Amino acid sequence: MRAEQIGVKLGPRQVLSGASADFRPGEITAILGPNGAGKSTLLACLAGLRSPDQGQVWLGPDPILSLPARQRAQRVGFIPQSPEVAWALEVEILVGLGRTPHIGARGLSREDGEAVSRAMTSAGIEDLAGRDVTTLSGGERARVLIARALAGEPDWLLADEPLTGLDPGHQLDVAALFRTMAHDQGKGVIVTLHDLTLAARMADRILVLWEGGILSDGPPALALSSEVLARAYGIEARLTPSEAGLTIEILGRTP
């Protein structure tokens, strides 16, 4: 997947301008940046959910927006930022909607049902199968939406703040699930995050957006240098490597 000179204007504000990056299967890429930097906008362009004003996104040899919507949905799974669900559906039915791009004329097949079961197991929500999704907590709904995306078994998983609302234990579980998808299954995983330390420990690669473009791009220790953090976030930070990964201690605002 490749973003090529992406430009997006929201009203009078130029949110993205000339943002380019290659994304590789088999790794987790975290997109970071201050509020308003364009993280969600870039992710929507990558998913083919938004047409950029300039540039385009390529999925393999094809512009992603040139592909039929069904084909895009088969290849790219998207997890929205908000875990809200409008309809009172049983969890298993909602997760089954992730198979929609694959369903034939006769509805869900045995293979579809097996994919739904695998997705629910991976997201750790088997015990919620018969629950009304509107009765769940925000964290439970977040895991259900992750399972819905997994049910489609896409080549690429794009997630907008997927760890929001999850307790620390479930954050670690989801991070481990994404690592399995990328490192063991060879899928491409792209996430937007706010937590710098969690991003540094989960991602193989980090992009930092700032003023419409990509300020840094590389492994966490390089992409999240103290210089980058000072420029993008206006903070002083201490970076400490450890066995658990990189720890980022925020010391205060830059002078």
pLDDT at 204: 96
Q: Give the bridge partners for 188, in sequence order.
A: 156
Determine the longest span between alpha carbons in the chain, in angstroms. Answer: 64
pLDDT at 138: 81
Delimit the domains of the chain by residue range.
2-253
Bigger pLDDT: 104 vs 206: 206
For residue range 108-158, list pLDDT tens digits in order.
788 999 999 999 999 999 999 999 999 998 888 888 999 999 999 999 999
For residue range 33-71, list pLDDT tens digits in order.
999 999 999 999 999 999 999 999 999 999 999 999 999
Question: What CATH superfamily classification does 2-253 receive?
Answer: P-loop containing nucleotide triphosphate hydrolases (3.40.50.300)
Please state, in angstroms and rounded to a whole number, the distance separating the CA atoms of residues 58 and 92: 33
Q: What is the DSSP letter of 255?
A: -
Pairing of strands 235-240, 28-32: unpaired
The dihedral through the CA atoms of 166, 168, 174, 175 has a sign that is: positive
pTM of the model: 0.93
For the cut 80, the answer to whether the pLDDT of residue 86 exceeds it is no
Structure tokens at 251: 């010391």
For the cut 90, the answer to whether the pLDDT of residue 6 exceeds it is yes
pLDDT at 105: 61
For residue range 184-203, list pLDDT tens digits in order.
999 999 999 999 999 999 99
End-to-end CA distance of the chain: 39
Structure tokens at 68: 């039929």
For the cut 70, the answer to whether the pLDDT of residue 83 exceeds it is no
